[in-house]
Amino acid sequence: MLTVIDLRGRTPSTSELRRTLPRGGTDVNSVLPTVAPIVGDIRHRGVTAALEYGERFDHVRPGSMKVPAEVIDRAVEALDPTVRTALEEAITRVRKVHAGQKPDTHTTELGPGATVTEVFLPVQRVGLYVPGGKAVYPSSVIMNVVPAQAAGASSLVVASPPQADHDGWPHPTILAACGLLGVDEVWAVGGSQAVALLAYGDDEADLEPVDMITGPGNIFVTAAKRLVQGTVGIDAEAGPSEIAILADSTADPVYLAYDLISQAEHDDLAASVLITDSEELATRVDAEIDARYTVTRNADRVAGALSGRQSGIVLVDDLETGIAVTDAYAAEHLEIHTADAREVAGRIRNAGAIFVGPYSPVPLGDYAAGSNHVLPTSGTARFSAGLSTHTFLRPVNLIEYDKPALQEIGGHVIALADAEDLPAHGESIRARFETLPTQDEN
């Protein structure tokens, strides 16, 4: 089922690998002309426009944009006990990991009376988008809400599409997850209109705009995030889900087959890539996939993803080349199935998250490993990080010099200001230690 790319017998350059490796992705530019008028309309007409677009696209109009507290409470009460227990355990683990990510304030002393202190200030108001299309994602609620709370954001709003099957409110499992996390502001709006409304708000409807928008979504959501970036911050322009597995002959082909299938289940555009120096393993994994994927309820979606140009098997000569290929691919999710998986994982430089060994599969990270599942896609892990507590924090420097400390460094500041032909900068320093002439005195 998987296309084979044979790189054996040569050492491909980074440029060649970027052209050769399986890669899908979406063309966000292609939908900007469609999305831009929607964003512009909502910027000017607010909730009225958002509800009109929601009715057109989702075929449902909620009773109000804000989900009433009693609707959220009912969703929590009606939640299946098994699901509730699982969500609570996931929340506990994700909270523990993200609490540990918060950096401490620290001060650097550059001399007597001269200090620079770095503090970390939270984004004040955060908008968290949770999709509601092909699947229900309470896990996305956890992964977006918890790091924002750990950072200390003062207010949070979750936006999720209204559902015709649920009285025009977001899916009750989404609402229940919000309730368990203590989120009491939820907007029943989806798609690009949700992103626009989060960015611009509506004073008449008492919808306060946010400072930052995070969360996954389809190509229209991504396009809207691009359009409002600058007005608000965004986490990333996320593409379809992807997994890469770096494996040698010691790997279990059944484990690998199921892990590749599991990510293909997300979307027809999802990417599943196996990188290995074992042709025998590659053959066995492909056979196991073919024998097993039809068992899953989402077999058609899996088949579409695994047979697409974004998925495949990459054969390499040895583990060293495999590591180089893996770094060039820069997977959103990377699994390591080798004889010394921990050592190999320590040599990887480009991945959104690295899952080490046979008992750390990607689905663990999707739900309850404690790590975050919102990760960079489409090779952007070479320069971007996944969602974390850091995402919602802004490092700010507090510069504090007393008079002797400024006097000590002042000559250097004046010299550099003169070198840049900005004499007023130097005069700002001099005015503190000498009386400068006025225009009349010159």
Q: How far apart are CA 167 and CA 308, in angstroms?
A: 37
Catalytically active residues are 332-333
Please name the residues in contact with 327: beta carbons below 8 A apart, sequence gap of 6 or more.
Answer: 348, 349, 350
pLDDT at 26: 75
pLDDT at 134: 62
Given a cut of 80, is residue 51 above it in pLDDT? yes
Given a cut of 90, is residue 216 above it in pLDDT? no
* CA 282 to the chain's CA centroid: 31
pLDDT at 440: 74
Annotated binding residue at 241? yes
The pLDDT tens digits for 107-165 are 999 999 999 999 999 999 999 999 986 678 999 999 999 999 999 999 999 999 999 99
Annotated binding residue at 266? yes
Annotated binding residue at 333? yes
Annotated binding residue at 149? no
In the structure, what pLDDT confidence band is assigned to residue 404 with cuts at 50, 70 and 90? very high
pLDDT at 142: 98
Given a cut of 70, is residue 442 above it in pLDDT? no
- 4-25+239-370 and 29-105+122-237 in the same fold: yes
pLDDT at 206: 94
Annotated binding residue at 366? yes
Given a cut of 70, is residue 175 above it in pLDDT? yes
Given a cut of 70, is residue 237 above it in pLDDT? yes
- Return the higher-pLDDT residue of 26 and 169: 169
Q: Are 180 and 36 in contact (CB under 8 A)?
A: no
pLDDT at 413: 98
Annotated binding residue at 425? yes
Annotated binding residue at 268? no
In the structure, what pLDDT confidence band is assigned to residue 394 with cuts at 50, 70 and 90? very high
Give the fold, CATH level 3, of 29-105+122-237.
Answer: Rossmann fold (3.40.50)
The pLDDT tens digits for 422-432 are 999 999 999 99
Out of 3.40.50.300, 3.40.50.1240, 3.40.50.1980, 3.30.420.40, the CATH code matching 4-25+239-370 is: 3.40.50.1980
pLDDT at 126: 98
What are the sequence ranges of the domains in the chain?
A: 4-25+239-370, 29-105+122-237, 402-430
The pLDDT tens digits for 35-45 are 999 999 999 99
